[in-house]
Amino acid sequence: MCELFGMSSDHPVAASQELNEFRLRGGQTADNPDGWGLAWWENGTFHLSKEPIPAHQSALFAQLCGTTRSNLIIAHVRKAKFPPIRAMSNTHPFQQMCCGKEWVFAHNGMVPDIVDIELSNDNPVCRPMGETDSEHAFCHLLGHIAQHFHSLPSADTTT
């Protein structure tokens, strides 16, 4: 099954050792050889790098392990099951714009029923680029967020 790595801090930190150990779980120390992705927050925006190759074989991922400094990091190593296709479009994390904000999503597990739900739904907010149930779930969530976005209280509202 896919694996996730997440880190959140009040200030930018390097997670070189932790990321490198996680990178090895992408086909060397664990059976997740079907792609990897790394998203991190820097200068007010998300940056995203990913490849549909085993993480432990990726020179790019190895380089990013040593250079990434952030207060928010999301990484994913994939074991392709739904669908069992190794492709860039099926590699997590996924990134979309919704409600004027950037969203990044990675998922571990299976939710195959969501695919039929989303395929029958004309979701104007998000269209999956790939075929994974995870990306369909991401679009499903963004669709619901968009429906309620204007009714949500703003974080900078003072009372």
Q: For residue 139, report the phi and psi dihedrals to the nearest 5 degrees.
A: -65, -40
Radius of gyration (C-alpha) of the chain in whole angstroms: 16
Q: Which amino acid is at 34?
A: D
Residues in the chain, how many? Answer: 159
Select from 84, 91, 87 the least CA-distant residue to 49.
91
Structure tokens at 97: 């714009």
Structure token digits, residue 108: 């571990």
Look-up of token digits 């963004």: 142
Q: How far, in Å, CA of 108 to CA of 2, rounded?
A: 5
User: Is 2 in the active site?
Assistant: yes
| Residue 141 CB neighbour total at 10 angstroms | 17
Active site residues: 2
